Amino acid sequence: REQASADDASSAAIEWECRRERFRQAARLVRQQVDAATWQAFWLTTVEARGVEETAAALNKSIGSVYAARSRVMRRLRDAARRVTDENDE
């Protein structure tokens, strides 16, 4: 019973690390495709969990442009992560 629990924990840790690596690969791809301000708006609001209003003020952008930038990057990240996953599955 303890061995099964340890195996489950190991499998979960491996899966988590694989997901993190896929995110890193996708992020590298997407970061090259978008301008610096778009990436920064995404990063600040999503990874650093800063508010949209705070981010807009810091970047001297409108609130709407921060929402749009975050949405664009998230969509590209999802697509890139799918491609990375498909490539790794081949």
Q: Is 35 exposed, middle or buried (0-12, 13-18, 19+ CB in 10 A)?
A: exposed
What is the model's pTM?
A: 0.77
CA 11 to chain CA centroid, Å, is 22
Query: What pLDDT, in 10s, does the model give residues 6-18?
Result: 777 788 888 888 8
pLDDT in tens, 35-49: 999 999 999 999 999
Domains of the chain from N-terminus onward: 2-89 (1.10.10)
Calculate the alpha carbon distances from 71 to 41, 50, 55, 67, 77 in Å. 10, 15, 14, 6, 10
Which residue is it, tokens 């709407």?
A: 64
Cα dihedral across residues 78, 41, 49, 20: positive or negative: positive
